[in-house]
Amino acid sequence: MLSSSLFAQNIAKTDSGTINGAKYRIIFPENWKGKLVMYAHGYEFMGSKPLQSQNPEWLKRMNPFLERGFAVAASDYAFQGFALPQGVDDTEALRQYFNKHYGKPDSTFIVGHSMGGGITLSTLENYGKHYLGGLPLCPLSSRPYLQCRKEYDMYATFNGLFPNVVTSLKDIFDLSKPYQAQDSRKMFGKVKEIKSILMSRDSVLAVAFAKRFDLKLEDLPFSLFFNENVLRDIAQKAGGNPFDNTNTVYNGFPNDLIVNQKAERLSATVNPDVIFKKYDRTGNIDKPTLLMHTIYDQLIPVNYGVVNFENMVHHQAKDQFFAVKYTNGQGHCNFTATQTGKAFDELRNWVKTGIKAKAGFLE
């Protein structure tokens, strides 16, 4: 594995600063060819450090673009947590800054992982005229409300079947208590603890529950830990609970009647539009968009990462601008640098030739 110092040797120049309260970083390769990738990062727990563009791992992820002669510009957004609308605005502000200070590139693409993949799609839906194409990777491509509602429903049903293992929804959305994001450094210990409790209580039911949410059992505790932070963050940003499952009838479990009788139920206290309306997903794209997804993803399952958006694109009659590549990766954004580079090359060739990239398996 190459060290970050080797990657740094390929960087001729770095520009960093702050725009509208959002830190940014722009890196130029030695062989810069006047081309630009705008990069959008994924979800960060509130308070987590370092910011993504300051993390050496970020340089490794950007290498497929750098080695092809592209500069990379990335905003850290004005705040962490759920920041899809903010990420769109901060990325657009950074693009404008780049053009003003370095001149308009001869080609500009947008790329993003996870929530950043959602920012990529929202950018193409709203600011697509500034781009030749986009590469959303394992993206939050459903309507953000639906993706986050899945996390809410997982907690509601889990707490009904396995009470007192994780935090209740009532406590998560209780704004009278001081907000405290879970420490990501304690994640592995907490995950191990949750798994141990599940195996001791009812391992068969735990396996079935995980399958209901497109998860492997070993990934269920991690998903619960991650989702609690997401829901706590949404509660704070929305100023209450934007979800309501008082009328929801759950199915797909070994005993749906018991699940519905025991599920934790809460009424919404705020309008979902408060947090989810701006840059809501439409599927209205008009530039080549090559979405890449792993065949298994414990945070954004394929139904939420591909199928929902595919249907929206089709409803807009924009199928000619959309293609999907899938890999045999097992886990969220578990792509190799080679796969990312290949997908990017196919996107660029699509733009250059006008011949749509072929959907399907990418080794």
Please report, in tens digits, the pLDDT of each residue of the chain (363 residues total).
333 444 455 899 999 999 999 999 999 999 998 999 999 999 998 888 888 888 888 988 999 999 999 999 999 999 999 999 999 999 999 999 999 999 999 999 999 999 999 999 999 999 999 999 999 999 999 999 999 999 999 999 999 999 999 999 999 999 998 777 666 677 788 888 999 999 999 999 999 999 999 999 999 999 998 999 999 999 999 999 999 999 999 999 999 999 999 999 999 999 999 999 999 999 999 999 999 999 999 999 998 889 999 999 999 999 999 999 999 999 999 999 999 999 999 999 999 999 999 999 999
Strands ordered across the beta sheet of 11-19: 11-19, 22-29, 70-75, 35-40, 107-113, 133-137, 289-296, 322-330, 360-361
Distance CA(341)–CA(345), nearest Å, equals: 6
- DSSP for residue 305: I
Query: Any bridge partners for residue 109, and if so which?
Result: 37, 133
Q: What is the pTM of this model?
A: 0.95
Say if CB 88 and CB 122 are below 8 A apart.
yes
Six-digit token string for 254: 């070994």
Cα maximum dimension of the chain: 63
Say if CB 63 and CB 7 are below 8 A apart.
yes
Strand-strand pairing, 35-40 and 360-361: unpaired
Q: How many CB atoms are closer than 10 A to CB 184? A: 16
Distance CA(165)–CA(151), nearest Å, equals: 16
Six-digit token string for 180: 């405290």
Six-digit token string for 62: 């950007």
Give the residue from 143, 165, 142, 175 showing the smallest Cα distance to 266. Answer: 175
Classify residue 169 as exposed, middle or buried by CB count within 10 Å of its CB (0-12, 13-18, 19+).
Answer: buried
Q: How many CB atoms are closer than 10 A to CB 315? A: 12
Domains of the chain: 4-142+282-361 (3.40.50.1820), 144-275 (no CATH)
Angstrom distances, CA of residue 10 to CA of 1, 80, 128? 16, 29, 30
Residues 6 or more apart in contact with residue 117 via CB below 8 angstroms:
40, 42, 136, 137, 138, 139, 140, 141, 291
Distance CA(231)–CA(64), nearest Å, equals: 33
Angle (nearest 5°) at CA 80 between 97 and 226? 140
Q: Where are the beta strands (DSSP E) in the chain?
A: 11-19, 22-29, 35-40, 70-75, 107-113, 133-137, 289-296, 322-330, 360-361
